[in-house]
Amino acid sequence: MSGGVDSSVAAYLLKKEGYDVIGLTFRGWPQDCRSIEEDKCCGPQAVTDARMVAHSLDIPYYVVDEIDTFRVEVMDYFAAEYKRGRTPNPCVICNEKVKFGSLMRKARALGAEAIATGHYARITRNGRYELRRARDDRKDQTYFLFSLNQDQLARAMFPIGELTKERTRAIAKEIGLKTYGKEESQEVCFVPENDYRKFLRESAQVADAKGEIVTREGRVLGHHNGIHNFTIGQREGLNLGGQPRPLYVIELDVAGNRVIVGPAEDLLRGEFEVSNCVWHGGEPVEPLEVTVKPRHQHPGCAATVVATGKGGAKVSLAEAQRAITPGQAAVFYRDDLVIGGGWIC
């Protein structure tokens, strides 16, 4: 239970269906940690809200200590990816390693047979467990769940996957839950004010390292304070005044500590590779025609995926796309079914 309306209604629906429900919130931060804001997912206020909901639903409630797991698996990963010139996606890792990893093991120790969350997603069974888009495509969160394995999907439940967000809020209001109007957090929970650069400096000890901002041909246009301050497609913060046309970050050269910039058309990519793939139906032996989402907010585009072995795959896009970003997940769909996904490299 994150303290939000979605997990609150998920708990209510399960109890209404006759399940024996236990409320769990994981704490991933030490008591003196200032990087978790009061109203963020699983923050101090979230615990208060989740406990209040559990009390109103008359279900047991526990706060589970996941400090070490969260720091190692999520926060350290987040900092390490930026150091490598990549743009991380901590929510995918948190779901796989914490919520449906360590937290699931602790839930089973309490006697629970499954973990339910407030994610907008669905699970079906067709010889294996299938992850499918939510009915409300606007709120679908399968992108963040693509890396769950069969054992995790077998023990996962998404009670609001058939609902729209509006209906979820309406149910919460009907039953008198005070979380019915609570706003959603769209930011990384452990990064205050969504200022990841400040977080990297102060909490992850990622030191600034001055380097050059150059064109693809190597012409020096300016200087930067560290490649971890940039991501593919970024325009703001380059401080390159006097250029004849807008320039964007098109590549990060980690070895040379250089930020490479170019015009908007240089951001287009017709193909890319992914690593550490997860295949929900087994690694394909033939090319797959899929819809790929190279980032969460992307609407999806047609692509052909060819597995290359050792967990890798090559993705060829039907139409070139802008700002394909190393470190982000690329998730493959066939209609509403998640075929698999991998990490852009």
Q: For 3-36, how does the pLDDT look when each residue is reduced to its tens digit (9 = 90+)?
A: 899 999 999 999 999 999 999 998 876 554 544 4
**Residue 11 pairs with which residues in a beta bridge?**
none
For residue 189, indicate whether it is catalytic: yes
**Sequence letter at residue 79:** A
CATH number for the 269-344 domain, one of 2.120.10.30, 2.40.30.10, 3.40.630.30, 3.40.50.2300?
Answer: 2.40.30.10
The stretches in the chain having pLDDT less than 70 are 29-43, 185-186
Q: Give the number of other CB atoms < 10 A from CB of residue 164.
A: 16
Provide CB contacts within 8 A for 187, sequence distance 6+.
Answer: 40, 194
**Residue 263 pairs with which residues in a beta bridge?**
none
Q: Is 54 helix (H, G, I), strand (E, B) or coil?
A: helix
**CA 302 to CA 295: how far, in whole Å?**
14
CATH number for the 5-194 domain, one of 3.40.50.1980, 3.40.50.620, 2.60.120.1310, 3.30.379.10?
Answer: 3.40.50.620
For the chain, the domains span 5-194, 208-262, 269-344
Q: Which two tokens stand for residue 245?
A: 């046309």
User: 281 and 128 in contact (C-beta within 8 Å)?
Assistant: yes
Global pTM value: 0.92
Which H/E stretch holds residue 167?
helix 165-174
**CA 157 to CA 227: how far, in whole Å?**
40
3-state helix, strand, coil in the chain (%, to 5): 30, 30, 40
Q: Is 154 helix (H, G, I), strand (E, B) or coil?
A: helix
Given 91, 94, 301, 345, the catalytic residue:
94
For residue 94, indicate whether it is catalytic: yes
What is the model's pLDDT at position 35?
A: 47
Strand (E) positions, 175-287? 211-215, 220-224, 248-253, 258-262, 268-279
Q: Is 222 helix (H, G, I), strand (E, B) or coil?
A: strand
CATH number for the 208-262 domain, one of 2.30.30.280, 3.30.2130.10, 2.40.50.140, 2.40.110.10?
Answer: 2.30.30.280
Instruction: Note the pLDDT tens digit of each residue in 59-96.
Output: 999 998 888 999 999 999 999 999 999 999 999 999 99
Given 91, 189, 301, 345, the catalytic residue:
189
